[in-house]
Structure 1
Amino acid sequence: GTPGVFDVTEYGAEPSNDDNKDAFMAAWRAACGSAAGNTTLLIPEGTFTVSTVEFSGPCKNGGSPVVVVVDGVLQPCSGGCHLYLGDGDAWITFSGVSNLLITGAGTLDGRGGDQISNAKSKTTTTLELDGVANATVRGLTFLNSRGFHLNFHRSSHVAAEGLHIEAPAGSHNTDGIHVGLSSHVTVADSLIGTGDDCVSIGPGSSGVVVAGVVCGPGHGISVGSLGREEGEDDVRGLVVSNCTVSGTTNGLRIKTWPGSPPSRAFNITFRDIVMANVSNPIIIDQHYCPHDHCSDIDKPSLVQISDVTYERIEGTSSSRVAVQLLCSEDRPCSGVRLDRVNLSCGEQQCDSKFSNVEGKPTMVAEEAAGPAAVPPEQEADVES
């Protein structure tokens, strides 16, 4: 083989194998253990079945990157298999690796699809980067995950670029890219359409940039949900810009659970977003209860949301209420700024609904900004 290239087929991987895990792990151990620099783990063209696999570090790559090239199709099983590992587990994990590039023309096919239509079914993340630093996932296609497609967890200085992520609109918990407990994260130039959030920013995320994402179908771009567990870290420093959201059930959403422990979400900017036929284009929901099974539904959320800017948001809303800022009775939202929000609601005028928002949200509206930019009275009732 080529020096520095560790081809899984040279370690026994074959498309005809029921499970190529051992071959993949052997090739990884060789690549990760090579101190020669510029090492590549190659998964060539072809369809390879592989069960749950964890590529763990640290590697001996020093300052040079470990490159993983996926040119083939990976699938968790070939027939009527059962992959479920329990909620939150991942099919393919990279952990404890620094300086990592995962790229190629290949596909990670979770083989979930429409069968993942039961909200109670166990979920399995397709690809998770856990405890990884200085890593990029670029150019791959993700199909039909049985849970999140890509999850950045406890990682820093990581990026997802040029990805194509697709799952049926009816599939549950199939977020495109989820970020949690991670800092300095970039999601860029990707096409994402699933049955859940295109991008979701979970607790403990900071310094996150989302740019050039085309989102839909799904649930839009979300911060949260926040406040479900004790001891969650804050969300701070998020910029979402130059994105297109179409045909989704929410546009730009911040969601927190009722009765939550205290935490904060602040310094969040949504800028230059185009909506097309989006329900709830702008929504803060501090009474988030997705399946109506919330024991604390009558208790206020204690997640403090502050310093949120919506700037140059335009397009069409499929719901009459285009802007909803439904904040916590106990921790009102503060520093919310709506600047040149120009949404139309078809034949009817757009409405907006605000509750528990400190001061009137700052409105910087152009003449043409339309009715969505006009706030109702501050005391507007929250419709259940």
Structure 2
Amino acid sequence: MGSLSFNYIVSFIVLLLWAVVVSAGKTFNVKDYGAKTDGRTDCTSAILSAWKEACEFPGDATVYLPPGKYMSAMIMMSGPCQGDMTFRLDGAMRGTKDLSKFPRNNWVAFQFLSNFKLTGNGVFDGMGRSTWAQNKRVGKVFPTSIQFTSLNDSLVEGIRSKNAKMFHMMVYRCSKLKIDKVTIQAPANSPNTDGIHVSLSNDTQITNTNIRTGDDCISIGQTNRGLYISDVRCGPGHGISVGSLGKFEDDKDVTDLYLKNCELSRTTNGLRIKTWQKSYQMTCSNFTYENIIMKKVFNPIIIDQEYCPNGVGKCGGKSTSSQVKIVDVTFKNIKGTSESPTAINLLCSQSNPCKGLVFRNIDFKHTGSAVANSTCLNVANPKISNVQPPLCQN
């Protein structure tokens, strides 16, 4: 009887200690799995091994990359996992220049996870300079640096991304993903290096983020609902864009976009909505842009429903107009300088005029000697108050 009691007590203590370890979480250092910090040795297997064991740990787990340089090929870090996962990067990850190592056109991917966190003081260096010359070829796709697929209630904070081979970050089929205090950087002449692209996602937040790149700072694709963007600094780059939309039959509505307290500097566009001239039916609705400062932006506010990158007449001709409906879009408390004389350019669809547009407290001045002006085409009964340059005057 005494022996049984003793064994019972020992088992209880072991279980208690294990419970304490699990509840406290565990860190999986990639150096313990063979990762080298010289920036030349391929660390792909070491990082994946650390992820696998962390994912199988029955508690909170952290995959940790301490200071140093880690070169890798494509890495797919998938769930679901036994507990909540954190990927902490305090070093520098470098994407290999060997394009054959990227069979799925992304570099670092996190997918099928809930309550996931990507954090740290480190940087994802896509080493994109090796591919940008090829990147200019139309239709050729290169790896996205960081891909988020099917993440729920997750957080990305503090990390940096630089010199992506193509997009820096892709948000795809995510719900309630927060991106905060992130820095994205690439030269102004780096092609197709969008900062953050969001598509097929719900309730995405992007806040307190600095983006300097060669394409859209933030690009918003099809089938998005609930996107909150605040305190973003953009430039150089192509601005903050919705679209281009309506190219594919599966494109669905983009709704509930709220963008505030942002600054755009020396970008080719400011706030842009673009849809294909020849398009399928869908709707953009309930957008609000407010408290925006623009400095030397070429197209501060632009709605382009005649988008046809292949040239005039190659997207259906003058008889074709966009089937995308733009409804209930508000621009308020926006000011700055325009590099182009046309500071506000509204080119809406002839068959589906823009409806419910509101402009309040808008003030743009041309950076040169010209007087700023506006263009207003196919806009149905806009509400206009205190707008310079004057808008939609017959």
- Mapped to 1, the partners of 2:335 and 2:192 lie a distance apart of 28
**Equivalent position amino acid for 1:10 in 2:** D
What's the CA shift for 1:131?
0.8
2:316 to 296, 311, 322: 296
How many residues are aligned here? Answer: 365
Using the TM superposition, give the Cα deviation of residue 358 of structure 1 relative to its aligned residue in structure 2, in angstroms. Answer: 1.0
Shift of 1:103: 0.5
Matched, 1:247 2:269: no
Pair member with larger Rg:
2
Contact 1:84–1:124 (Cα < 8 Å) also in 2? no
Tell me which of 69, 74, 78 is aligned to 1:47: 69
**Which residues of 2 match residues 87-166 of structure 1 at below 5 A?**
89-113=105-129, 115-117=131-133, 118-120=136-138, 121-166=140-185
**TM-score, length basis structure 1:** 0.91
Q: Moved runs in structure 1, 4+ residues, more than 6 A?
A: none
Within 5 A, what are the aligned runs for 1:205-224? 205-224=224-243
State the shift of 1:119 in Å: 4.1
Q: CA deviation at 1:231?
A: 1.7
Deviation at 1:25, TM superposition (A): 0.8
- Cα distance in structure 2, aligned partners of 1:249 and 1:352: 17
The match for 2:329 among 293, 308, 318 is 308
Task: Show structure 2 runs of 5+ residues with no match.
Answer: 1-23
Gaps of 5+ in 1: 378-384
Give yes or no for the alignment of 1:331 onto 2:363.
no
Residues 114, 171 of structure 1: 8 Å contact kept: no
- Give the counterpart of 2:46 among 23, 34, 39: 23
Counting only pairs closer than 5 Å after superposition, residues 231-270 of structure 1 correspond to structure 2 as: 231-270=250-289
| Alignment partner, residue 376 of structure 1 | 393
Instruction: For 1:318 and 1:295, locate their aligned partners in 2 and report how far apart those are by CA, in whole Å.
Output: 28
CA distance in 2, matches of 1:83, 1:342: 50
Q: Distance in 2 between matches of 1:186 and 1:295?
A: 34
Partner residue, 1:74? 93
Shift of residue 89, structure 1, vs aligned partner: 2.5
2:23 matches 1:6: no
User: Is 1:320–2:341 an aligned residue pair?
Assistant: yes
Correspondence for 2:379 among 339, 353, 357: 357
| Structure with more helix by fraction | 2
Q: Is the 8 A contact 1:326 1:354 kept in 2?
A: yes
1:382 maps to: none
- CA positional deviation for 1:20: 1.2
Deviation (angstroms), 1:90: 1.2
**Change over 3 Å in CA distance of 1:114–1:306 after alignment to 2:** farther
Aligned mate of 1:348, from 346, 362, 370: 370
Q: Percent identity?
A: 37
Deviations 1:254-306 (A, max 9, x none): 01011101011110011000000001100000011234384435421111011
Name the stretch that deviates more: 95-104 or 345-354: 345-354
Q: Residue 84 of structure 1: CA displacement?
A: 7.4
Work out whether residues 105 and 141 of structure 2, in 8 Å CA contact, stay in contact via their aligned partners in 1.
no
Structure 2 residue corresponding to 1:195, chosen from 214, 235, 248: 214
Contact 2:29/2:65 (8 A) holds in 1: yes
Distance in 2, Cα, partners of 1:251 & 1:12: 46
User: What letter matches 1:336 in structure 2?
Assistant: L
- Determine helix, strand or coil for the equivalent of 1:26: helix
Query: How far is 1:115 from its partner?
Result: 4.4
Whichever residue aligns with residue 200 of structure 2, its letter is: L
Corresponding residue for 2:3? none
Tell me how large the CA RMSD over aligned residues is. Answer: 1.8
Shift of 1:349: 1.6
Shift of 1:85: 4.3
340-349 vs 43-52, which deviates more?
340-349
Q: Secondary structure at the match of 1:131?
A: strand
Give the direction of change, closer, same or farther, for the CA distance of 1:206–1:3 in structure 2 (3 Å limit). closer
* Cα offsets for 1:127-169 (capped at 9, x unmatched): 0110111111111111011111011100000011111101111
Task: Classify 1:32/1:287 alpha carbon distance in 2 versus 1 (closer, same or farther; 3 Å).
Answer: same
- The one-letter code sitting in structure 2 at the alignment partner of 1:251 is G
Give the residue type in structure 2 aligned to 1:296: G
TM-score (norm 2): 0.89
